[in-house]
Structure 1
Amino acid sequence: MLKPAFLYNQLEKHGVDFMLGVPDSLLKHFGSYAFDRGNDLIAANEGGALAIAAGYHLASGKIPLIYLQNSGFGNIVNPLTSLTDEEVYSIPVLIIVGWRGQPGTDDEPQHIKPGKTQEEQLKALGLPYTILSSDEQQVEKQLALAFDTMKRKSSPYVLLVPPNTFEGYTFQGDSKEKSYSLKREEALEKLILKFGEDDIVVSTTGKTSRELFELREKHGQGHHRDFLTVGSMGHASQIALGIALQKKEQSVFCIDGDGAMIMHMGALAIIGEQQPANFHHILINNGAHESVGGQPTAGFTVDFGKIAEGCGYKKTFRVDDLNSLDKIFDDFLNSKGPVLLEIMTQTGARSDLGRPTLSPTENKSNFMQFLLEE
């Protein structure tokens, strides 16, 4: 396996001193190592990362590096084809892509299609690429070819990273789990015990949906009221909006995350503009991309309440303990939407946290049956 430090040092030898991206589980050891060396910036989304990298190149003349998971590759197609492409502005950027769903490997359903089509996507876009080796000597040759190609063509180059390429590395950066005493799972448990039988729930990707599923199991509540957004990071609130506009007599709760909300923050403007009275937006903010390595988001520096109000939300609430959550929940529930409840939590999850035992299509079928019967 490849040591994160080795790749980092090799990149430095090629003059790379600016790295950024969106954390990925396959790249978390390298991303964490880079972040701990102060040479990393966590972008809002993948397209934004490429745009920042382009700006850096314009101002420095150097080649930057961005990293991402292939499930977010769609977010960079627009700037890849209309900004950095050699037929437009011709900007060299090294792009490291975590290859979730690589053919021949086991992965979750939402990663199968991105993994199966990844190489075809790169070929269709005319992007030169190589599959990163875990052998150090081979990596040196691959990087030499990548930088030679980028300098010669003045355009992006992709390193496709299969599962289990990197050795483990534990993130040493400023840990935020001590900032707040409340755990996400504790907050979720309090919430589901307050939701009504007819309330609709849409939860964001990552550990939030996994914990929601297990908590429903724990309390014997069934899963028919929940849409678990296992992929499509940042889009849970828009799924919930589409439902809320159709099911106006039912309360719709979107359980969001800080990284997901930042990724597509424009969603708040559309929710505010539509003014769904039954829309209850719950943001669980732990200031981290916890599911993919724990690197920090901008969540603890952003005033989500002010942003929501500026977008047209009727009311906002913010709590950081179960007592406060208990006291304000009825006010939150009875307020005319759209309303936002921000719950500040620490990072961390149970070591034995499982994954939903229902497939996405089973979840969808049960959820639609519940909605269409109401």
Structure 2
Amino acid sequence: MIPSLEAMKAIDRWRSEEVMVSATTALREWSSVSRRRDLDLDLSDCMDKAASLGLGVALAQPRKVVVLDCDSVLRSNLAALVTVGNVGPENLVHVLLEDASHLSTDGMPIPGLEGIDFVAHARESGYPRTYRFDDLEEFVVSLEEVMAGPGPTFVSLKVVHDREVPDYPSSTLGDSVRTVRATLERDAQGPR
């Protein structure tokens, strides 16, 4: 199993100009390590729409978009995999945190979650590139290749969370949309 906070730190070290979309536990951990909060879309006010919002952002602009999702929430919106796979945005990477701890439900198992093969769902939904990692070193060594290729790409990380998960950021989705939009507009204008 991969310590989820270490996976987030590895993604942040790789990241430069990518737009990040995150929700639930992934959002809590991501917001505590991200060095580019001006490019982070925080779904603190809605749970299971990270893949859908990420798709919209990927279609609206050319930058790579990385969706940080959790298994319990993706289960609630599996249809998003089919939509992303059919539309096929080459600039989208969908990273799924699969945790055996069920942290988002305070340790309560979620019925039906254990039997879902999310990588198979993504592949059958049309994601041309799928990966599964349960070892941090293997993930870190493969990170550049995983993120560089044309997407949509689906990455499952078998993770374990720290006992103390960071709090949600204080920003709302509306706040982060305004911030990301301003950053993208400023960057599109180039240096002055």
**What TM-score results when the alignment is normalised by the length of structure 2?**
0.89
What is the SS of the residue equivalent to 2:33?
helix
| Displacement of 1:279 | 0.8
| Displacement of 1:347 | 3.8
- Which of 115, 123, 129 aligns to 1:315? It is 129
1:330 counterpart = 2:144: yes
What is the SS of the residue equivalent to 1:269?
helix
Query: Who is 1:139 aligned against?
Result: none
1:201 counterpart = 2:20: yes
Kindly indicate whether the alpha-carbon contact (under 8 Å) linking 1:290 and 1:348 is maintained by their aligned counterparts in 2: no
1:185 counterpart = 2:5: yes
Residue 33 of structure 2 aligns to which amino acid in structure 1? Answer: L
Residue 285 of structure 1 aligns to which amino acid in structure 2? Answer: E
| Displacement of 1:355 | 3.0
What is the SS of the residue equivalent to 2:37?
coil
Residue 12 of structure 2 aligns to which amino acid in structure 1? Answer: I
| Displacement of 1:300 | 3.8
Q: 1:291, 1:262 → 2: CA distance?
A: 13
Residue 22 of structure 2 aligns to which amino acid in structure 1? Answer: S
Give a deviation string over 1:209-246, Cα, whole Å, max 9, x none.
Answer: 12211112xxxx24111001113221110000001011
Kindly indicate whether the alpha-carbon contact (under 8 Å) linking 1:287 and 1:299 is maintained by their aligned counterparts in 2: no
Query: Who is 1:223 aligned against?
Result: 37
Q: 1:232, 1:268 → 2: CA distance?
A: 18
Report how many residues are paired.
Answer: 186
- Which of 273, 277, 282 aligns to 2:90? It is 277
1:254 counterpart = 2:63: no
Kindly indicate whether the alpha-carbon contact (under 8 Å) linking 2:14 and 2:144 is maintained by their aligned counterparts in 1: no
Query: Percent same amino acid among aligned pairs?
Result: 22
Kindly indicate whether the alpha-carbon contact (under 8 Å) linking 1:314 and 1:337 is maintained by their aligned counterparts in 2: yes
Query: Who is 1:339 aligned against?
Result: 153
Which has a greater percent of strand?
Answer: 2
| Displacement of 1:296 | 2.1
Kindly indicate whether the alpha-carbon contact (under 8 Å) linking 1:258 and 1:287 is maintained by their aligned counterparts in 2: no
Root-mean-square deviation (CA, aligned residues, Å) is 1.7
| Displacement of 1:261 | 0.7
| Displacement of 1:359 | 4.3
Which consecutive residues of structure 1, in runs of 5 or more, have no partner in the other structure? 1-179
What is the SS of the residue equivalent to 1:193?
helix
Give a deviation string over 1:23-75, Cα, whole Å, max 9, x none.
Answer: xxxxxxxxxxxxxxxxxxxxxxxxxxxxxxxxxxxxxxxxxxxxxxxxxxxxx
**What TM-score results when the alignment is normalised by the length of structure 1?**
0.47
1:211 counterpart = 2:29: yes
Residue 88 of structure 2 aligns to which amino acid in structure 1? Answer: Q
Higher relative contact order (CA 8 A, sep 6+): 2
| Displacement of 1:257 | 0.4
| Displacement of 1:250 | 0.9
